[in-house]
Structure formats: structure tokens, C-alpha cells
Amino acid sequence: MRIFISCLIILFFDWSALQGQVVPQVPKTIYFAGMTLRLNAAAQKEIQEDVDAQYRSLSHFQVKLDRINLFLPVVERVLREEGVPEDFKYLVIQESSLISDAVSTSNAVGFWQFKKATAEEVMLRVDQEIDERKSIVASSRGAAAYLKKHQSYLDNWAITLVSYQMGLGGARSYYNDRYRGQQTMDIDRSTYWYLKKFLAHKIAYEKQLNQMVSDGGYLHEYPVRGPTDLKAIAKTLRVSESHLKEYNKWTTKGKIPGDRTYVVTYVLNGIVPERPVLASNPPIATDEGLSPMKKNARGYPQVTGNINKAGQAGQIRINGIKGILASGSNLSQLAKQAGISERKLRRSNDLKPADPVQSGKYYYTKRKKSKAEAAEHVVQPGETLWGIAQLYGIRLHSLMAKNRIYKDKQLLPGMVLRLRKYYKRNETISRVKLIPAKPQQQVAKSRIEKQQVIAPDEPDNKNIVVPERGEREKEISAVFHQVLPGDTLYAISKKYDVTVDELKDWNKIGPDNLLSVGQKLEIRK
């Protein structure tokens, strides 16, 4: 009887809490991976039932949501790097609820529910020592490779999603190329169940993402190349070995071999990384070094055609792509002027709905390219990723992926961004030191270096990095501090006898005072 009453109390509180939780309603139109999906009433009702089921128990919903908000930022980044639409992040929720060692009835394992043979196809290691299906980084990269392969045959992201469950052969046989290349689809009662279940997860969670985990924790990533073990890494990171075992079930015996770089994940409270410290997201080079730099290519954007009528549709090309010159700040008016829809204008220029149009700027009316004519660009003070992408006619996500940089605050003057090739996983980003020119000089002298990555298992007392190579600037002498778990700006300022404001100024740290583990801070003397 007592147990029965306790259960009733729990159900009552769950029900009461859910009264304040608004369950998302399924719309008639859903945008997914650049496609427009139109739902009839029957499909809406069916998908809504699945959405409602996700919200049935608030306690279970919160536990699941915490896992999602802990792991999904990593999934999002990997999908961006691999060129897969970010909407596929909801697929990992559908497959495993972000439980690393989930096992299905068909013996599929891990975050993305790979069977052993399929995992090995996408270069995941699965043996008695290592099972990368349980690694959020490795398995997400494997899933991206699998999806891209299917998309190359199916040319429809919605059908590619279905093929994740049916297999490539099954999807091709089921749909018989009926939707190949199409950007719109009608969703009804006959639509394959797996796609509708996915849409339910997207609707249920898309407005719940990017929230703080309830205990304030954030997932950090740490690249390691063995041979080593979790016990040694725990000492370096100052966390418990049991904690590392909980978040790294991919190493079944706690050993990390030396055949490749693996990513150890762990949770810290209250430290939000600006960017993960990953081999696939290389550290930024320091300012020291004495190599001559290449100048930015001149003449960009390259505008050709009838320049006198640049404000009219079909008159000019910008970097070889159809474009138009804005004469006002109204997006709707510019779209009408260009003869295209507002949505197409935004997509062609990587604009968000709230972004204003800048009068006197060139805008593309056709989709930009995945790579530019110029090979690289040296970042100048005040530049943004969007501005650089527009300058060369390269898609914003392509520019980001090629350089493993996804936020403007990660841009530093002198960074050498690649516009055609990708920085490799273990390759560091080149950075130029811009030396102020003397009055008689027309061009500033610049120097480049490649940063050396500190080995993951170096002792903690080696977090002070003093540049050794090259000649130093006479007017500034600097050392570099590598941020460790628990470091704060205040503690670092006291250690080096400088002020917090000086640290923020030297390293372009914003008002949020955020630091990343592994980040290098310049301390000028």
C-alpha cells in the first residue's frame, strides 16, 4: 500500500510539472536538411502522438534532455566538419537516446547503433580492446561517412535518412529513384515510419537544445595518442579514473593504444569551452616565428558584367556567380529586385532571417561554391567569417569546415584561412604576425609559424610555453600559458602579476570571460 501511494505521488508531481511544459505541436510544413516536407492531417496526427510520448514523463524527459545537451554539441560539430546537414543530429537521439553502450535487439551498438561489419566499413575500430561505436566523436564521424555515401547515390537527404534503417539497397528498391534530386516531399500515412519517427524527435527536441545541463556540466574532449591508460590521463586532467571510465566506455579495458589519436571525454562544471581541444579542431598558432607571408589575393570580390547596371537582375557576376548590388537595407525589396524569393536570397548569402542587408554591398543570387579561386586568406582585424565567405564566394559552412573554426571570436588577426583545401586533423592553423608598418612602408612585414601541440600526457607543471624558435620582437616579450582544468582569468593574472583586463585585451577575450581547456594565453611582459 505504501509503495502504491508513493507511486501515485510521483505520478502526481510528474503530471503537475508537465502542466507548465508546453508540448510542441507538429506544423503542416517542416524544413529538414534544406528540404521542404509537407504534412497532411493524418501524418500530423501520427507524428504528434510520438511527440506527446516524449513528454509523457517529465523526470524521464529531463534525464534524457541532460544527456542530449551534454553530447549533442559534439555531434553538431562533427556533422558540420563532414558536410552533413546538422538536422541529422536528431537521428542519434532517435537511435540511442545518447546512451553510449546501448545495444539493440539486432545487436547494433553505441550512440549511432552500428553493427560490427558496418562500423568497420566506416573505419571504426571494433575489437576486444576498443569499440569506437561507444565514442561520441568517432561514431559520429562514422555515421557522417555512412550518410554521405548513401546521399551520393540517392541525392535526397530524406531518403538517405530512411536508408540509415533500410540500407542503401533497401531504400533504392523501396523508392525506385522516385524522389531523386527533389527538394520537396509530401508526408502522409503511407510515408515510411522511420522518417515520421525522426520528424517527431526533431519537433520534440529542437526548441529544447543548447540549454545548460541541470547540474551545470559540460563535455570536454581531450585528444590522446597512446600507449597510455585512463589512470594516467586521470592524473593529468585532475579527475577520477572512474569518471573517465563512465564517459569513455569505448576503451573496454581502460587502455589506449598507439595506432591512432583517440578522444577522451569528461565532464567539468561551469567551464564552457569556446571550441573543443581536439586533433580535428587544431590549436591556433602563436605569434612567434619568422617565415615570410603570402599576401592576400587582390581584386576580390571579382565583379564582371554590366557594372553600370549592377543593381538590376542578371547584369553582373560576383566571383563568377550571378549577383546584384544592394541599394537599400530591405531584404524583401532586394529579393524582388533580383527576381528571386527572400528564402533563396538568404540561402545564397548565408543570411539569417534577422540579418540586415547592407546598402552598397554585393549579394549573390545563385548558390556560392564549396571552394574559392584564391587558395588562402590572411585574417585582418575586425573581419568576420561571413564577410570572408562573401568576399570570395565560398559557402560559409565550407569555409568553417576547411579551417575548423565556427565562431567569429575564434578569428585572430593573422590567421591563414584556407579557401580550397582542408586543414588536416593533426595539422595546426598557420598564423601571421602583423607588424605595424613604418610611415614610409606600404605593406606591413609579416611572419608565420606553426604551433607545436603539447603532448596530452605531459606533466601539469609544463603548462607555461616559452617560444624558442625564431627572433623575438624587441618591443614585446611574451610567454604563453596553456589553460588547464579549473584555471580562471583571475588565478592566471595573479600567477603572472598582470591584470585581468590585460589578459582579456591581449587575447581578445569577450565579456563572458570564457576559457577553453588547452587554450594558449599570451602574457606580455
Closest listed residue to residue 430, CA positions, set 481, 394, 378, 373: 378
List the grid coordinates of 317: 557576376
pLDDT score of 286: 33
Residue with cell 560539430: 77
Cα 275 from Cα 273, distance rounded (Å): 5
pLDDT score of 303: 81
Choosing among 3.40.50.720, 3.30.70.20, 3.10.350.10, 1.20.870.10, the CATH entry for 217-269 is 3.10.350.10
DSSP structural state of residue 248: -
Cα 84 from Cα 181, distance rounded (Å): 16
- Burial pattern 394-413, b for ≥16 Cβ within 10 A else e, equals bbbbbbbbbbbbbeeebbbb
Tell me the longest C-alpha to C-alpha distance in the chain: 92
Is 291-295+374-524 in the same CATH topology as 23-205? Answer: no
Would you kindly state where each structural domain of the chain is located, as residue ranges? Answer: 23-205, 217-269, 291-295+374-524, 303-364
Query: Distance of alpha carbon 78 from its chain centroid, rounded?
Result: 6
List the grid coordinates of 480: 604563453
pLDDT score of 120: 92
Closest listed residue to residue 93, CA positions, set 121, 64, 116, 128: 64
Cα 215 from Cα 267, distance rounded (Å): 11
Q: Which residues pair with 362 in a beta bridge?
A: 325
Cα 149 from Cα 153, distance rounded (Å): 7
Residues 6+ apart with CB under 8 A from 254: 229, 230, 231, 241, 245
Helix (DSSP H) and strand (DSSP E) numbers for the chain: 17, 19
The CATH architecture assigned to 23-205 reads Orthogonal Bundle (1.10)
pLDDT score of 273: 41
Residues 6+ apart with CB under 8 A from 454: 462, 463, 465, 482
What is the dihedral sign for C-alpha 379, 383, 386, 390?
negative
Q: Is 79 exposed, middle or buried (0-12, 13-18, 19+ CB in 10 A)?
A: buried
Query: Distance of alpha carbon 495 from its chain centroid, rounded?
Result: 33
Cα 447 from Cα 445, distance rounded (Å): 7
**Amino acid letter at 123?**
M
DSSP-derived pairing of the beta strands 35-39 and 184-187: parallel
List the grid coordinates of 360: 552598397
Q: What is the pLDDT along the chain (525 residues), one digit of tens a residue?
A: 554 444 444 444 444 344 445 889 999 999 998 899 999 999 999 999 999 999 888 888 888 888 888 899 899 889 988 889 999 999 999 999 999 999 998 899 999 999 999 999 999 999 999 999 999 999 999 999 999 999 999 999 999 999 999 999 999 999 998 999 998 999 999 999 999 999 999 999 988 776 655 555 778 888 888 899 999 999 988 889 999 999 999 999 999 998 888 999 998 764 444 333 333 333 333 333 323 344 566 668 888 888 778 888 888 999 889 999 887 778 888 999 899 998 899 999 999 887 778 777 889 999 999 888 888 888 887 788 998 999 999 999 889 988 888 888 788 888 889 998 888 776 777 777 654 444 433 433 333 333 333 333 333 333 434 444 343 333 445 678 877 655 667 667 767 777 777 888 888 876 656 666 677 888 875
Q: Which residues pair with 222 in a beta bridge?
A: 264
Cβ–Cβ under 8 Å, residues 518 and 283: yes
- Tell me if residue 449 falls in helix, strand or coil: strand
Q: Is 142 exposed, middle or buried (0-12, 13-18, 19+ CB in 10 A)?
A: buried
List the grid coordinates of 473: 620582437
CA distances from 56 to 19, 31, 86 (A): 11, 25, 27
List the grid coordinates of 333: 525589396
**Amino acid letter at 11?**
L
Cα 306 from Cα 335, distance rounded (Å): 19
DSSP-derived pairing of the beta strands 228-229 and 255-256: antiparallel
**Radius of gyration (C-alpha) of the chain in whole angstroms:** 26
- Class for the domain spanning 291-295+374-524: alpha beta
Q: What are phi and psi of 180, to 5 degrees?
A: -55, 125
Q: What is the dihedral of CA 454, 458, 462, 466, to 10 degrees?
A: -30
Give yes or no for a cis peptide into 227 (omega within 30° of 0).
Answer: yes
**Other C-beta atoms lying within 10 Å of the C-beta of residue 437:** 11
Cβ–Cβ under 8 Å, residues 258 and 227: yes
pLDDT score of 71: 92
